[in-house]
Structure 1
Amino acid sequence: MRGRALLAGAGLVALMGVHGCSSDPQADYCHTVEDHQDDFSEAVAQGGPTALLTVLPDMVDLRDQAPDDIQGQWQQVTGRLLALRKALDDAGVDPTSYDRDKPPSDLSAADKTAIDAAAKQLVSADTVTAFEQIQTQVRDVCHTPLYR
């Protein structure tokens, strides 16, 4: 019963357009989801292998505000993205121009292996499932999609 009351309260706050700080972490989380929807929508429309890297700061923000029941899934997704970002940064590779099939000639085998491993983990079944669970939870709890 208490969970339904929290959800109803979060929905009411969202409908009323109240965007200040509240004492309800669930409502704050849902407000943050709404704040980042346009960024996520642009990333999805952009597509490509670097789309999620462009919204990494948004994802970290949502991870930090996520309710306990979805915190692990946010950690899974952002952790994999952060690992890919680190592998690319460590290799000095621009993610927007990196082509796995035609890597820069000065890219070491170790750096290429690190990038490939991070990318493989990002698209692993565990990470894909975690992202699907995030999207479902956002839709169910915040009554809005993560992106439009």
Structure 2
Amino acid sequence: MRLLVAGALVGCLSLNACSSERDQWCGHVEEAAPKIGKALDEGGSENGLLDALPVLHDLADEAPDDVRGEWRTLVRAIQDLDEAVEAEDEKATQQAALKLASPDVQDAAHAVDQEARDVCHTPLF
């Protein structure tokens, strides 16, 4: 038990460092949430995600370690769809849309949204 507590304290060096990192992350989330919401409102579920891709990519770059993998999964799936749409490749677009709707990507989207709600009290989607 002592090792767990010591490891947690060493990881942040102080409670203020943990709080500062969390506050910085939540600032990013709070700034991005209205942009994501606007993109989804204006573009619908598929085009909205494509329109929100730059904002989502920025969040993925800043994401905490505990959800970084989920952010990468989500952003990569949206990027694949964006690339297929840009290439006007109907088959690739269908495959990318199926990937975006896959359980792995949906779980990742849920995880990043839930983390934003739990930690920052800000929904993303």
TM-score normalized by the length of structure 1: 0.68
2:29 corresponds to? 33
Which whole-Å CA distance do the structure 1 matches of 2:29 and 2:106 have between them? 19
Aligned counterparts of 1:128 and 1:90: Cα–Cα separation in 2: 24
Distance 2:60 2:120 in 1: 15
Unaligned runs of 5+ residues in structure 2 are: none
**1:134 to 1:48, Cα distance in 2 relative to 1, 3 A:** closer
- 1:43 corresponds in structure 2 to 39
Q: How far is the alpha carbon of 1:38 from its aligned partner?
A: 1.0
- Structure 1 portions without partners, runs of 5+: 10-23, 92-110
Cα RMSD after superposing both structures: 2.1
Partner SS state of residue 46, structure 2 = coil
> d(CA) in 1 for partners of 2:102 and 2:27?
29
Q: Is the 8 A contact 2:40 2:47 kept in 1?
A: no
Check 1:7–1:144 CA distance in 2 against 1; reply closer, same or farther (3 A cut): farther
Contact 1:25–1:65 under 8 Å retained in 2 = no
Task: Report the number of matched residues.
Answer: 113
2:66 partner SS: helix
TM-score by length of 2: 0.80
Aligned partner letter, 2:118: D
Q: What amino acid does structure 2 have at the position aligned with 1:29? A: W
